[in-house]
Amino acid sequence: MPFRRLRSALTLSGLGLWLSIPALTAMAAALTRDDDAAARAQAVGAVLALMLLPAVLLAPVGGMLAARVDRRLMLLIADVLRLVLLVTVPLVGTLPWTMAAAFLVAFVGLLWTPAAGASLPALVPDDPEPRARAHRSAIRVVAGPAPVAALLFAIIALIAEGALGDDSRADLAAFVTAAVFLVSAAVVAAIRDIPASVPIHVTSPLKLIFQGPRTSAGTGGAAGAGASGGGAGAVRGLGLAVTAASLMACAVVAVARVHTGELGGGDAGYGSILAALTLGVASGLFLGPRVLAPFSRRRLLGLAVLAAAVTLVVLALVQNLVVVVFATGLLGVFAGAAWTTAATVLTDPDRADDGRPSDYLRSVALVTGVVAFAVVPLIAGAAGSHRLDLGGAVYDVDGTGAALLIAAVLALLAGFVAYKRLDDRHGIPLVPDLRAALHGDVYTPPEQAAAAAAAQPVHRGQRGVFIAFEGGEGAGKTTQARLAAIWLRDHGYDVVTTHEPGATKIGMRLRAMLLDRDTTGLSDRAETLLYAADRADHIANVIKPAMDRGAIVVSDRYVDSSLAYQGFGRQQRVEDIARVNAWATGGLVPDLTVLLEIPPRAGLDRLSAPADRIESESDDFHERVRTGFRALAEADPDRYLILDASRPQGELSREIQYRIREILPDPIPAGTEDVTSTFPIITDL
């Protein structure tokens, strides 16, 4: 019961904390309403910077003071002091006092935050589980009300615009904020039992930045396991990414009030921008760990920053308040996603999170924020308003838009560098990587896949020879396999011709399932396993017995078909397909694989029978299959013969014969067959 009451009180106080930001900045804008945009932007920026400054400079002092005083008293004092400050701001009505009050409100907030963060956990039993929950609850209480505060501010502004004159329009928000603190104080006063235990220690953000993000002992742990392989460069990339994200969000906040004015909006528009930003950030925080799960987090971080920067370009250039609000929301999503992703990259998953990594990131973001709040409005002032003549059409660039554009360009550059530094998938093209991740997969480049396939254990000790024919649809491999078999038989070899899928009884049933167009909804994995099952049965009942007796086995399709169709075609991880098949085949690899290459369209056009389930796949699918076959073959030229299937049949056969001859054992002198039971067995046909 006291827990819930305290939580409500703290939530209210948190609401006041967030509400005081637009309230005080709007006040600064109102007090400078007769000045030019540059002066107004600087006044607003100064208030914002002053509200962040205590957190940067005085955080440890705040923590120390908060730790000395009884917790309940501390919370009460904090609420009452802020209440008083906020009431005085409209009453005094000068810019210097508004700025001073902003600094003081923020400093009091510094006393409040650690006290609030420590008092909720102190109310629950001293077990790890409830404590952790209470900690999360405390974080939510402090950060959660931000979007609510922004929306509330927009509503207050709408009411004030309707009801109050120019002079007192900004007052209402300040009074409402004060009232919120009053209610919070009343609730805290009614709670008797807030324990005064749990020491509070707050480390200075500047010190944290100086120390760097040491998440685990030793240098290798500089950025935790999540950032393995990259060391200092990666950590710098991480810092850069967070700096850029914070710069963009803070730049928008810094000029939002004045920019809204330039676009014809007022405090309500300002509130909407803040609401969009906070809601966007909240969604980004939620989505960050959930989207593109198989995708590299480090790449995602770089991409999120770049996406935010592109959004900021749009935001800066489009002079329409609605577009600006939406773009701000989107920017928030990207920035929020960048933030959680950075925290994930920095956190060593093998260790319990000791809070250090995100403390470091928070410090980086905080310091960036102060700088952005102070500098961005100055740039806006320096840039001033310009009218561009675009061959007839005029385009007005106001200083705030120009400042945002500069911030966007800086962030874009920082994003690029961060992406490069963080990239843990060097040389792997981004687009297929992203596309695979969209399908819930990790992209494997053809070379790596081929290496994985080549790493299959080679089945030694077999006596026969195994030749596979591979290729896309209509490449003519069936014909070439038959011609090769005839030629081999003509030379007296024991040849078994076979094919996949469907060379055995069970295989025929599997083939029917796999190729029947009435088969719908077959999952990619199930398809893979059915082909592998057919293959296992094929080996056990046809290939292995034939090899054991020393025959030459010529198979129309084998494992590579699965790698190409189920791996590349279906965009599943080729290594996985290789592993499943290595098991299914017991590691049997062909001595030679003939790959007949043909552009998919040409091949499909050659077919006469109605297209089966696989043949009727998209052109893209068949294109990927072709690329896959090629990649597999090129990775192991010794074991493959690649042929252009559009060449005349006779030529192709000759090339194939020539190559097969190389892998056949030395010709055995006539007359010795009867004394050797080893290869080759000559049969009389």
Q: Which residues bind ligand TYD (CB under 6 A)?
A: 473, 500-501, 515, 531, 556-557, 561-562, 565-566, 614-615
Q: Please state the closest distance from residue 487 (CB atom) to ligand TYD, in A.
A: 21
For the chain, the straight-line distance linking the first and the last C-alpha, in angstroms and rounded, comes to 95
Q: Please state the closest distance from residue 413 (CB atom) to ligand TYD, in A.
A: 46
Kindly give the pairing relationship between strand 386-390 and strand 393-397. Answer: antiparallel
Q: Please state the closest distance from residue 435 (CB atom) to ligand TYD, in A.
A: 20
Tokens representing 163? 């009801």
Which residue lies nearest ligand TYD, judged by its C-beta? 565
- Tell me whether residue 249 or residue 450 sits nearer to ligand TYD (CB atom): 450
- Tell me whether residue 79 or residue 615 sits nearer to ligand TYD (CB atom): 615
Q: Please state the closest distance from residue 565 (CB atom) to ligand TYD, in A.
A: 3
Tell me the torsion sign for CA atoms 305, 318, 20, 119.
Answer: negative
| Residue 255, number of CB atoms within 10 A of its CB | 32
- Tell me whether residue 557 or residue 630 sits nearer to ligand TYD (CB atom): 557
Q: Please state the closest distance from residue 501 (CB atom) to ligand TYD, in A.
A: 5
- Tell me whether residue 230 or residue 472 sits nearer to ligand TYD (CB atom): 472
- Tell me whether residue 171 or residue 556 sits nearer to ligand TYD (CB atom): 556
Q: Please state the closest distance from residue 531 (CB atom) to ligand TYD, in A.
A: 4
In the block, residue with structure tokens 């501390």 = 74
| Residue 480, number of CB atoms within 10 A of its CB | 23
* Cα separation, 488 vs 657, whole angstroms: 9
Q: Please state the closest distance from residue 250 (CB atom) to ligand TYD, in A.
A: 53
- Tell me whether residue 504 or residue 561 sits nearer to ligand TYD (CB atom): 561
Q: Please state the closest distance from residue 517 (CB atom) to ligand TYD, in A.
A: 12
Q: Please state the closest distance from residue 428 (CB atom) to ligand TYD, in A.
A: 25
* Cα separation, 85 vs 609, whole angstroms: 85
Q: Please state the closest distance from residue 650 (CB atom) to ligand TYD, in A.
A: 21
- Tell me whether residue 262 or residue 615 sits nearer to ligand TYD (CB atom): 615
Q: Please state the closest distance from residue 397 (CB atom) to ligand TYD, in A.
A: 57
* Cα separation, 371 vs 538, whole angstroms: 69
Q: Please state the closest distance from residue 502 (CB atom) to ligand TYD, in A.
A: 7
* Cα separation, 221 vs 189, whole angstroms: 46
Burial readout 633-661 (b: 16 or more C-beta within 10 A, e: otherwise): bebeeebbbbbebeeeeeebbebbeebbe
- Tell me whether residue 344 or residue 444 sits nearer to ligand TYD (CB atom): 444
* Cα separation, 85 vs 182, whole angstroms: 12
Q: Which of 433, 432, 429, 418 is nearest to 296 (CA)?
A: 433
Q: Please state the closest distance from residue 552 (CB atom) to ligand TYD, in A.
A: 20
Q: How many degrees, rounded to 5, is the angle at CA 140 between CA 139 and CA 146?
A: 110
Supply the DSSP string of 530-546, one letter for each residue: HHHHHHHHHIIIIIHHH
- Tell me whether residue 362 or residue 538 sits nearer to ligand TYD (CB atom): 538
Tokens representing 336? 């929020």
User: Residue 15's beta-bridge partner residues?
Assistant: none
Cβ contact 469:596 at 8 Å: yes
* Cα separation, 497 vs 415, whole angstroms: 57
- Tell me whether residue 381 or residue 501 sits nearer to ligand TYD (CB atom): 501
Helix H or strand E encompassing 167: none
- Tell me whether residue 103 or residue 568 sits nearer to ligand TYD (CB atom): 568
Cβ contact 180:16 at 8 Å: yes
Tell me the torsion sign for CA atoms 73, 103, 375, 267.
Answer: positive
Supply the DSSP string of 91-156, one letter for each residue: HH--HHHHHHHHHHHHHHHHHHHHHHHHHHHHTS-S-HHHHHHHHHHHHHHHHTHHHHHHHHHHHH
| Residue 373, number of CB atoms within 10 A of its CB | 25
- Tell me whether residue 361 or residue 596 sits nearer to ligand TYD (CB atom): 596
Cβ contact 536:467 at 8 Å: no
* Cα separation, 104 vs 613, whole angstroms: 72
- Tell me whether residue 614 or residue 656 sits nearer to ligand TYD (CB atom): 614
- Tell me whether residue 544 or residue 557 sits nearer to ligand TYD (CB atom): 557
* Cα separation, 202 vs 117, whole angstroms: 11
* Cα separation, 439 vs 470, whole angstroms: 27
| Range list of β-strands (E), 621-682 | 640-644
Length of the chain: 685
Q: Please state the closest distance from residue 631 (CB atom) to ligand TYD, in A.
A: 16
Q: Please state the closest distance from residue 560 (CB atom) to ligand TYD, in A.
A: 8
- Tell me whether residue 155 or residue 515 sits nearer to ligand TYD (CB atom): 515
